[in-house]
Every structure is written in C-alpha cells, then in structure tokens.
Structure 1
C-alpha cells in the first residue's frame, strides 16, 4: 500500500517555534482553519490596512489591544461563523483563537 504525501503550506513561526499543519491528529478543532487564515491575513496586511484608515479616539495610555488587533480578532470571528460578536469573551480563551492572536490576548 502506497502512502500519499503532500506538502503543507509554509507558515510563519509563532513565538519562535515552527507552525505545522496536520490532518492526521485525533483531537481537532472546528476553528483550526483560522491558523491558515491568520497567515493569509498577515501576509496581505488587511487588518493593519483597515486600522490605518480609522481614527482611534482612545487614550493610548489606557489601550490594552491595538485597533489592528481588534479588527483582526473580528475578522477571525466572522470567518469562523461568529458573526454577531457576542461570543468574543468566550472565544478569547479558545485555543484556536489564542493561537492566531498576539500573546496579550
């Protein structure tokens, strides 16, 4: 029996560690596709480009999350099917979402 292999896309390291995609694991997340989407977003710079178009009236001394990170999180939520935004508090603890967001989340 021949085992087929295919190459997986190269992803940017996360905290200095390589990120690998695999489809042979026992435990999988329905939101694992966010890892690939995050890579596409990072390369396209969509969240940063949107943030650059908006004025952020918040006091910088009191800002915990940048406007770019908030937009990125919202993009990921919509892509994962959480279009209402009312799941944000729960999703910030979700492993798939934590993997694609900065450590400050």
Structure 2
C-alpha cells in the first residue's frame, strides 16, 4: 500500500471553514478530502480550500473540486479556492474551468 501523499487540516471559524491541503490531490487522495468535507455543513457558509501547499493536482482533483463547488451551490454556500498554485491553475485553464471558481490569495496567519 502506498502512503497517502496529502496532509489535510480543517479549521472552523464562525463565518468560514478553511480546509488546508498540502501534497498531491489525485485519484488516491481525493477520497480523503471528500470524506472530510462531506461532514461539513455548507448551508449559508463559506468553505475555503487553501491549496497553497498543493504540489500536484490531476483531473481527479479537478473533478472533486467541481463536485464540491456544486454541493456548496446546492446548499446555498460558497466555495473559495485560496492560494492556487501554478500547476493547479494550469489544470483549471486547460479545462476552461477557472471561471467557475472564486480564487483568492492565501490567508496569512
């Protein structure tokens, strides 16, 4: 069995939940992100995914982000992508999906 190549941290504040991802977002790691985000209430909330420490994202990662975006919209919530790295931006650009997401700079501690 291969080790998981993704660290995930969830921080909940009154108006926003931040999920910080570090490592690779791919077919192997997406189920862990889905499992963690499925438990979060999105109704009227902002969910921010901090991707600034992401080293790789493939089409599985993009599909997971699109699914999460649709879920947030369906539950009257908002999804923001924070600090999206160059490689992930390239995936969004190549697939024509960048405009579907709200991109923000990385949160500063």
TM-score by length of 2: 0.28
Greater Cα radius of gyration, structure 1 or 2 = 1
Q: State the TM-score, normalized to the length of structure 1.
A: 0.29
Larger fraction in helix:
1
